[in-house]
Structure 1
Amino acid sequence: MIVFDNIIRNANIHGGADQIDVSLKREGKHCEVSFGDNGTGITREVKDRLFEEGFSYGPNKGSGLGLYIAKKIIEKHNGEIQVKDNKPKGVVITLKFKSEDVNEIC
């Protein structure tokens, strides 16, 4: 829940999103949870640093720890976190997991 909360709060506070679509996709031994927002989006430079410890940007700067901690939690569960542009605007953050028993996750 900490990870989901952080992603949603960032989309709202930093991206100005008023809509966030959450989707769950399961394929074989893989599970993906995606959060797509309609916010302002982020630059390539910000995307490249988004999960760095202490990195913060924009007028509503936070501690720079939220997405860093989220990434560490996901990695601890043998997952990965990715960010890409949403079309026509905003950001999509995807959590990807592998598991012998995908039902544990999805």
Structure 2
Amino acid sequence: MATRCGFARRHEVFSACASDSKIFYIAGGHDQEKNALKSALSYHVSGDVWDPLPDMARHRDECKGLFYRGKFHVIGGYQTEMQGDFNKSAETFNVETGTWSPVEEDVLGTDT
């Protein structure tokens, strides 16, 4: 657990973000050297506390986030070596179990 520190600074740029109105989730993005990240964090608003989450399966820069049906969904993005070549995969963080799972269907479709 980390409180009021520079802990979240790694995720300042092009991260996926979403909230359930109590907890703010952030994942992916890139660091100061523009390396894509697979790490994730949660911010507990009422306690002003940042906590690390388990890493995602893939590095995801410029990904999108959505909180839906009790889960944090991270969609798209690209890995460092694939700069700008966005993938259509997604991962879901289950807040109940504290685990990531791949999303099996092509969430972005073929026309995006």
Greater relative contact order (Cα < 8 A, sep 6+):
1
TM-score past 0.5 threshold? no
Higher strand proportion: 2
Higher helix proportion: 1
Alignment TM-score, normalising by the size of structure 2? 0.25
Alignment TM-score, normalising by the size of structure 1? 0.26
